[in-house]
Amino acid sequence: MDASLSGGCACSGGIATASSGGLFITFEGGEGSGKTTQARLLARRLRRRGVDVLLTHEPGGTPLGERARRILKGAIPASPLAELLLFAAARAQLVAGVLRPALEAGTWVVCDRYTDSTVAYQGYGRGLDMAAIRAVNALATGSLRPSLTFLLDVPVEAGLRRKGASDDRFEGEGLAFHRRVRSGYRELARRESGRVVVVDGREAASVIARRIWARVEPLLG
Is 182 a binding residue for ligand TYD by CB under 6 A? The answer is no
**Long-range CB contacts (< 8 A, 24+ apart) of 11-14?**
12/218, 12/219, 13/218, 14/194
Residues 141-180, mask of contacts with ligand TYD (x by CB under 6 A):
-----------------------------x----------
By DSSP bridging, strand 148-153 and strand 9-12 are unpaired
Secondary element (H or E) of residue 18: strand 15-18
- Whether residue 90 contacts residue 59, with contact meaning beta carbons closer than 8 Å, is answered with yes
By DSSP bridging, strand 196-200 and strand 148-153 are parallel
Cα(120)–Cα(49) distance, integer angstroms = 33
Is 213 a binding residue for ligand TYD by CB under 6 A? The answer is no
What's the min distance (Å) between Cβ of 160 and ligand TYD?
11
Residues 66-105, mask of contacts with ligand TYD (x by CB under 6 A):
-------x-------------x------------------
What's the min distance (Å) between Cβ of 77 and ligand TYD?
15
Distances in Å between the alpha carbon of 14 and those of 11, 19, 28, 59, 97?
Answer: 6, 14, 20, 29, 29
What's the min distance (Å) between Cβ of 59 and ligand TYD?
5
What's the min distance (Å) between Cβ of 202 and ligand TYD?
16
Binding site residues, ligand TYD, CB under 6 A? 31, 36, 58-59, 73, 87, 113, 117-118, 121-122, 170
